[in-house]
Amino acid sequence: MRLAPLVFVATSLLLQGCAGDKVDCTMGAGLNGCKPGTKEYEQMVEKQRDDRTVAEIDDTLCRSYGAQPGSQAYAACRRKATSDRETFGPTHEPKPK
C-alpha cells in the first residue's frame, strides 16, 4: 500500500511533463524558454525589467556628467557604473512572495 503514493507522485510528474511545462518552469529554477504564467517566466520578465531600469539609471548618470553616448568618456562611465554595482551593490535575487 505504500507504493500507491509513490505511483501517484510519479504519474503526476509525468503528466505535468506531458502538459508542455518543464518541472523547472513551475518551480522557478531559472531556465529560459518557459511559457507565460509559469513562475520562471515571471522571474525572467522581472529580471529583464530590472536590467532595463539599471541601464536607464546608468545612462542618466553618465549623461549628467556630460558624457555623450558613443564617446569614450560615456563608455568609461558605463563600465565604471557596472563595476561599482557588481562590487558594492546587492545581487539580483527574486523577492519572496
The angle subtended at Cα 50 by Cα 41 and Cα 80, nearest 5°, is 135
CB count within 10 Å of CB 44 equals 19
- Chain centroid to Cα 10, Å, comes to 29
Segment 40-97, tens digit of pLDDT: 888 889 999 999 999 999 999 999 999 999 999 999 999 999 999 889 876 656 555 5
The band of 27, judged by pLDDT with boundaries at 50, 70 and 90, is low
pTM: 0.57
- Chain centroid to Cα 7, Å, comes to 34
> By C-alpha distance, which of 20, 49, 48 is closest to 34?
20
Residues 22 and 19: their CA atoms lie apart, in Å, by 9
